[in-house]
Amino acid sequence: TERKRAEEALRESEERFRTIFNGALDGIILVDAMNRKCVMGNRTVLAMLGYTEDELKTLRPDDIHPADAMPRVTKHLEETMRGDISVVEEMPVKRKDGTLYYADISASIVTLDGRPHFLGVFRDVTERKRASEEQQKLVSIIETSEDFIGIADLDGRALYVNAAGRKLVGLDGIDAVRNRPVAEFHQEADRGKFESEVLSTIRERGHWRGEVAFRHFKTGELIPVEMYGFVIKDSRTGQPIALATISRDIADRKHAEEERQKLQTQLLQSQKMESIGQLAGGIAHDFNNILAAIVGYGNLLQMQMRDDDPARVQVDQILASAERATSLTQSLLAFSRKQVISPKNIDLNASIRKIERLLSRIIGEDIMLKTSLSADALTVYADPTQIEQVLMNLATNARDAMPKGGTLMIGTERVVFDDRRVKAQGYGTPGTFVAMIVSDTGIGMDEKTREKIFDPFFTTKELGRGTGLGLSIVYGIVKQNKGDINVVSEVGKGTTITIFLPLVSAGLEEGRRPEITEPIRGGTETILLAEDNEDVRSLTKQVLADFG
């Protein structure tokens, strides 16, 4: 009876063991430590491997692990056999069909029927490993991305910034990122606005897109970026767990846009000046014809009058006014580049020295004139009279900008424009030029005024103190001589106007024109007179007839 009860108890114990053994969620396998043969396995491990219980009993460890994993398996078993503490190790496992999965495996020694056995516990971690690999891929993509990618907690403290982002803002290593308030990535003046507008919008609406400026932590440089900020949510609960941003450096794009805008502005300015020049030139040409008739008939009338004729004073006034009007039309023609000129090779330094005393009288005693001329002869091909006019106009303009006195500096130097410089400065053509720099210490100009200074009749002077043509004439003369002009000015700090004229090799001195010593003989010739303006044609005909 006692024996039966003992056998019954043993059977019940074995049944409970088998129920627990087969019901375990982890795979369990028993391997004879002496011959390394599998003895038994639970249902979970049989399902994992794809073998029946009888098939399992024919297997050894090298049947259920790939060859490249066997050194690790053998080492693990030997350590377990020596009684070392068993550790869980991730290992690849080979199924019956040859496919692999990954399991966390731990082994321990148990004694059955007086023989040592390995008790191995297999936990399938294939999904975990796949998720880890996917995560690693994402991390790799994020780390190699050229965009700034950052993650912060819900309180706005940085947790992570990728390599490109750290480089963009000058942070060395991830430790320099962690727990740093994201507002610190922006200049101090923008932080309040960033927190109240950007961060609050991301938290409330879940996303925000726009342009902001990061600051470089080492140099303080501001970096314009296009930022997309959003909330990261828990995939199961849908609750926000973090804030993130993907931001792209748009400094190059902004620079390109600014360059495009600058070129467009220059084109519009050039077209405007060309249109104004054509209009001014057309008006001046027609007005010149009218003045030619007035002056011509006035001179003829003057020649026919006695010296004591009382009307001579009125005629003289008419001619003087006409001469002033002629001077005005010449200014308009200079601006429109239709003025008749006599260019020749001239030394610009010599031209400046020649007119230096006159310029001193123009600017007055309260203004000091200084020159800094190149030691080399700088030859340009231009009309000397025009060069003098440019200098006088610039000196007059500088004088009016220094009502309390100051310094006027005139300098020259040789400059070379290459493609890179032309592109950077936005004007000129490649080549070698003479630069004439005229600087004053006057009141300066704001940008709005600077944009209009070459417009005809534009002036900031009080009524009666200028025609507004001085700098327009300078512009026209410079352009007529294939040059360029640049203006740098700041309110309260003065103005610098630099004129660039093509440098030429000095040519031979021009010969003097032969003087006419013989009197003009006439009266027997036939002259064809062609003139489209009737007044000028009639005047010319009368002058020719009067002189025989």
What angle in degrees, to the nearest 10, is found between the helix axes of 470-480 and 384-401? 150
Asked whether residue 348 falls in the same domain as residue 491, the answer is yes
Asked whether residue 390 falls in the same domain as residue 331, the answer is no
Asked whether residue 376 falls in the same domain as residue 484, the answer is yes
- Count the neighbouring beta carbons within 10 Å of the beta carbon of residue 508: 6
- Cβ-based burial of 304 (10 A; exposed 0-12, middle 13-18, buried ≥19): exposed
Q: What is the pLDDT of residue 298?
A: 85
CATH number for position 397: 3.30.565.10
Asked whether residue 483 falls in the same domain as residue 369, the answer is yes
Q: Give the end of a domain, one of 481, 502, 523.
A: 502
Asked whether residue 23 falls in the same domain as residue 65, the answer is yes
Asked whether residue 359 falls in the same domain as residue 440, the answer is yes
3-state helix/strand/coil string of 393-414: HHHHHHHHHCCCCEEEEEEEEE
User: Is the Cβ–Cβ distance between 380 and 502 less than 8 Å?
Assistant: yes
Q: What is the pLDDT of residue 481?
A: 86
Q: Is 510 contained in some domain?
A: no
Asked whether residue 455 falls in the same domain as residue 355, the answer is yes
Report the domain count for the chain. 4
Q: Is 442 contained in some domain?
A: yes
Q: Helix and strand tally (H, E) in the chain? A: 17, 17
What's the domain range around 274? 255-335
Q: Is 536 contained in some domain?
A: no
Asked whether residue 427 falls in the same domain as residue 395, the answer is yes
Q: What is the pLDDT of residue 183?
A: 93
Asked whether residue 27 falls in the same domain as residue 175, the answer is no
Q: What is the pLDDT of residue 509?
A: 45
Asked whether residue 325 falls in the same domain as residue 356, the answer is no
Q: Is 238 contained in some domain?
A: yes
Instruction: Identify the CA nearest to 65 among candidates 87, 49, 51, 46.
Output: 49
Asked whether residue 217 falls in the same domain as residue 326, the answer is no
Per-residue pLDDT reduced to its tens digit, 154-169:
999 999 999 999 999 9
Antiparallel, parallel or unpaired: β 406-417 and 367-372 = parallel
CATH number for position 303: 1.10.287
Q: What is the pLDDT of residue 508?
A: 40
Q: Is 548 contained in some domain?
A: no
CATH number for position 44: 3.30.450.20
Q: Whole-angstrom Cα distance, residue 442 to residue 449?
A: 15
Tens of pLDDT, residue by residue, the chain (548 residues): 777 777 777 676 667 767 777 878 899 999 999 999 999 999 999 999 999 999 999 999 999 999 999 999 998 888 888 876 566 788 999 999 999 999 999 888 888 888 999 999 999 998 888 888 888 888 888 888 999 999 999 999 999 999 999 999 999 999 999 999 999 999 999 999 999 999 999 999 999 999 999 999 999 999 999 999 999 999 889 999 999 999 999 988 888 888 777 767 666 666 665 666 566 666 666 777 777 888 888 888 888 888 888 888 888 888 888 877 776 666 566 555 555 567 889 999 999 998 898 889 888 889 999 999 999 889 999 988 788 888 988 998 899 899 999 999 999 999 999 888 888 777 788 899 999 999 999 999 988 888 888 877 677 766 545 556 778 888 888 888 889 999 999 999 999 999 999 999 744 444 444 454 455 556 667 788 787 777 777 777 777 777 65
Per-residue pLDDT reduced to its tens digit, 181-225:
999 999 999 999 999 999 999 999 999 999 999 999 999 999 999
Q: Is 534 contained in some domain?
A: no
Q: What is the pLDDT of residue 507?
A: 47
Q: Is 527 contained in some domain?
A: no
Q: What is the pLDDT of residue 465?
A: 55
